[in-house]
Structure 1
Amino acid sequence: MQWRQWGYVATLCLSLGMASTGVNAAGPALAPDMVQALESLQQRMQDNASESAIDDAKSAAERLQGGNRADRWARALFLQLAATGEARQGRDAEAADLFRQARRIDSVDADSRQRWLNQEARLRLRAGQTSQGAQLLERWLEDHPDDRDGLWLMVQAQATQKQWTQAAQWVDRARRAGDMDADRRRLAASVYQHAERYDAALALLDDQLQSESDDPQAWRRAAALAQRMQQPGLAAALWEAGWRRGALAGEDDLERLIRLHLAGGTPARAAEHLETAFEKGTLSRDSEHRRLLAEAWTSARAHQKALSAWRALAEDTQAAADWRQLGELAYGWGEWSTAIEALRQAREQGADPARTWLLEGVSQLESSDEEAAREAFEAARDAGASQAEAWLASLDEGDAGKAPDVDASPKAPTPQTPSDTP
């Protein structure tokens, strides 16, 4: 995972200098010429951090290795300066190694050791040494639990390693410490989502929607999360709210809104959006969109609107499947004349003759045309419909109620659930 993937880049607050008055105060007293050498090199680092200045700092630290306590303290300070220069040159791993050397020198005071531990941790994270950096940062946070930047940096480190449970626990700590801006809120919500703490993630996204209602990505993330929580109705409601606010706009967002309504149990709203889009010219009246409209009205069980939509589609496509769908819906809803017409059209276009003749026979019988019904059942029998003989026998006996039922429940193709990827 790339460091910037979450949209949150931790600020590395590196201490790049040291006050000349604090050189002796922090550790053993240094000779005046040593203080002067340190201060001179410090100034060169602040002015330029050139390669020569970095090399001079390393050379000075090397010369002092193995000296007395004051020499070891001065060595640590020279290593700090060299680390500062390396960091300014963008060589984070090298800078981290120098801070590690500095903090492990026995003459270093506790405060400096802690400060350099923190700097090494952040540099290793920035250098991509995530596991090592996270371990060091955790040590720092044990003694500095109120370091807000450090807490959020730890969240990022755990997320980078895809340690979602641990990352979520660090989010909990970081939130208690406060100071959660928009970037951190997005990071926290993403971590909670990956850790499958969906309620917490949705609560954060809801807060974000209140403060950033015009941000389309916020609405997309919230709807995607609702889908992952197996709440398609909530996903549709969120997308609808974003659409009404104007944060979501355009043909792609409209089509997703329609499909979310279909998946979320509000098909009539999907159909209304489609019809409005047709009227305004936002969506073309092609076969795909016409079929979507027909499916929506069918799912909503709006009989006349569904039949009208399927008829318009079938007349446009002249496809056997579309005529048959119209015929079976009309049959299931008792619209006998529509069923007869559509089933004939379906058969002419190549639909299964056995079933279409059988359904037409029942429709003719329900329309009180026994002669037409008998002809249809005979054709169904000749086409291989196993129930046709029973219907013919019932006609001969004058009791059509003894014939077997024909299953033709009004159904539309199941709409495809839209992906929950924002």
Structure 2
Amino acid sequence: MAALSRFLHMMLRPLGALLVAALLCLAGAVPAVPAEPSVSARAHEALSEAQHLLQEEQWQDAERALAAVIERFADEPYALAAAWQMRGYLYSEKDRPQEALRAYDRVLELEVRDPVMTQQVRYNSAQLLMSLDRYAEAIQRIDAWVAAAENIKPEQRVQAAWIYFGAQAYATAAGHLEQAIEAAPQPAESWYQMLLAIYQNAQDQAALKKWLPVVIEAYPHNKSYWQLLSSVYLHLQEDRRAVATLSAAYHNGLLTEGQDLLHMARLYLYAGVPHKAARTLQDALRSQKISASAANFELLADSWLQARENSAAVAALERALAAGGGPVVSLKLGRLLVQEEQWAEAREHLQQAAGTEEGRIGGEALLLLGMAAYQDGRPADARAAFTRAREYSGVRRQADNWLTYLAQSEGATGS
């Protein structure tokens, strides 16, 4: 399970990028100036000047202009509503969310008969409430926005989904997004990305399993989707599908970076396909897509060991040592050479491993060193190694057993 956890962590990292892309919402535009039949000519002129200042990002001048509109045209509700809406936009741009929210609330309190303005204010204020962690109020505001919308367009559903997503109302957010995707002739890739991010945050593996093949069909050249689908199959304990999915991405030329190839090899190992893991690593080393490091050669050796290709594993461990591998690699190589009954070759590597201060490695190395010496017809060297091995609690009982056996053998020979 530890190997699975490490693999899933590596596979899910691309979700960070997906989540960022999914949370991109449409940037707010400067509110429009009402037409003259709705406001007086003087109010229209004053609002137009304030709008121009906002577009030019002359914030202080715009704030003064809007304050003047609110003071001069207090008897024109529509002009007041437009000014407060612009003020809400200004405060939002200046990162003053509390003041922006109060400005938008003033627009709603005026109850002007302009559904476009009202809907814009509802949506913008829902965003602000979400940014202030007032999720319940944000949901109420966006619920009102949805209820007032007629014939909701796919783009509007996406906007609503973003608010619900931010408020952690995942089921509602996903519902709007799915409807938007199904209704749109060509859904934007960011819509799919947001949907995947929602289901990942909701830990809904079944939904990810359903939608990822759809996303892959639409965008087959994005390796992140293949990697995510593979990790979902692993979560669902569908290991064969996990391997098949990532293998398809590999054979389609999507996994070309060293880290991707290492992930692929580890998945093969986890799924019990060590020959493919070894071949993937060999090809990556040969093409220099992964470094000729001790760790990578050790992983190659582990693959060959699982595949029961001991000779190839020995060669890989020798390369790992040449690349700077430490006592662990020496112990692995010595252990393997003992299994292959290559006593003299094993002795050199086991002596190196026995010199480490790490108890587990040193103790096992001395025990194996004694066994190799005994099998090689050197009982005195074997006794010396087993005596030293007794100093390590992890192998003391085995060392004592060997020392007893040696004493009995010598006694029998002497008699």
TM-score, normalised relative to structure 1? 0.68
1:401 alignment partner in structure 2: none
2:133 paired with 1:118: no
Equivalent-residue separation in structure 1 for 2:118 and 2:138 (angstroms)? 10
Q: Decide whether the 8 Å contact of 1:357 with 1:379 is kept in 2.
A: no
1:242 alignment partner in structure 2: 249
Equivalent-residue separation in structure 2 for 1:318 and 1:17 (angstroms)? 71
Equivalent-residue separation in structure 1 for 2:410 and 2:215 (angstroms)? 69
Structure 1 residue 6 displacement after superposition:
4.0
Q: Decide whether the 8 Å contact of 2:161 with 2:173 is kept in 1.
A: yes
2:274 paired with 1:267: yes
1:174 alignment partner in structure 2: 177
Cα distance change on mapping 1:355 and 1:151 into 2, 3 Å: same
1:387 alignment partner in structure 2: 401
Equivalent-residue separation in structure 1 for 2:274 and 2:150 (angstroms)? 51
Unaligned runs of 5+ in 2: 1-15, 55-60, 355-362, 391-398
1:139 alignment partner in structure 2: 144
Q: Decide whether the 8 Å contact of 1:209 with 1:218 is kept in 2.
A: yes
1:10 alignment partner in structure 2: 25
- CA-atom RMSD, angstroms? 3.9
Equivalent-residue separation in structure 1 for 2:192 and 2:225 (angstroms)? 11
Equivalent-residue separation in structure 2 for 1:362 and 1:135 (angstroms)? 80
Equivalent-residue separation in structure 2 for 1:347 and 1:37 (angstroms)? 94
Unaligned runs of 5+ in 1: 24-33, 65-73, 365-371, 399-422
User: Aligned match of 2:69 in 36, 53, 57?
Assistant: 57
Cα distance change on mapping 1:105 and 1:315 into 2, 3 Å: closer
User: Aligned match of 2:371 in 359, 363, 370?
Assistant: 359
Q: Decide whether the 8 Å contact of 1:168 with 1:188 is kept in 2.
A: no
Structure 1 residue 119 displacement after superposition:
1.9
Structure 1 residue 325 displacement after superposition:
1.8
Equivalent-residue separation in structure 2 for 1:231 and 1:347 (angstroms)? 41
The letter of the residue matching 1:254 is: L
Cα distance change on mapping 1:84 and 1:312 into 2, 3 Å: closer
1:153 alignment partner in structure 2: 159
Q: Deviations over 1:25-67 (max 9, x none)?
A: xxxxxxxxx75555555666676668476345312442x2xxx
2:223 paired with 1:207: no
Q: Decide whether the 8 Å contact of 2:25 with 2:159 is kept in 1.
A: yes
1:82 alignment partner in structure 2: 83
2:196 paired with 1:189: yes
Q: Decide whether the 8 Å contact of 1:185 with 1:208 is kept in 2.
A: yes
Equivalent-residue separation in structure 1 for 2:337 and 2:195 (angstroms)? 52
2:302 paired with 1:288: no
The letter of the residue matching 1:199 is: A
The letter of the residue matching 1:57 is: V
2:300 paired with 1:300: no
Structure 1 residue 17 displacement after superposition:
4.3
2:105 alignment partner in structure 1: 100
Q: Decide whether the 8 Å contact of 1:324 with 1:342 is kept in 2.
A: no
Cα distance change on mapping 1:231 and 1:121 into 2, 3 Å: farther
Q: Deviations over 1:290-345 (max 9, x none)?
A: 2221112112222332233234445665855434323323444xx22x2x124311
Between the aligned residues of both structures, percent identity stands at 16
TM-score, normalised relative to structure 2? 0.69
Equivalent-residue separation in structure 1 for 2:298 and 2:132 (angstroms)? 54
Structure 1 residue 115 displacement after superposition:
4.4
Structure 1 residue 14 displacement after superposition:
7.9
Q: Decide whether the 8 Å contact of 2:84 with 2:104 is kept in 1.
A: yes
The letter of the residue matching 1:211 is: A
Equivalent-residue separation in structure 2 for 1:290 and 1:245 (angstroms)? 26
Equivalent-residue separation in structure 1 for 2:295 and 2:331 (angstroms)? 17
Normalized per residue, the structure richer in helix is 2
Equivalent-residue separation in structure 2 for 1:84 and 1:318 (angstroms)? 66
Structure 1 residue 137 displacement after superposition:
1.2
Q: Decide whether the 8 Å contact of 1:117 with 1:136 is kept in 2.
A: no
Q: Decide whether the 8 Å contact of 2:327 with 2:353 is kept in 1.
A: yes
Cα distance change on mapping 1:387 and 1:346 into 2, 3 Å: farther
Equivalent-residue separation in structure 1 for 2:322 and 2:48 (angstroms)? 85
Which structure: larger Rg? 1
Q: Decide whether the 8 Å contact of 2:162 with 2:173 is kept in 1.
A: no
The letter of the residue matching 1:272 is: R
Equivalent-residue separation in structure 1 for 2:20 and 2:322 (angstroms)? 50
Q: Decide whether the 8 Å contact of 1:223 with 1:234 is kept in 2.
A: yes
> 3-state DSSP class of the match of 1:253?
helix
Cα distance change on mapping 1:172 and 1:328 into 2, 3 Å: same
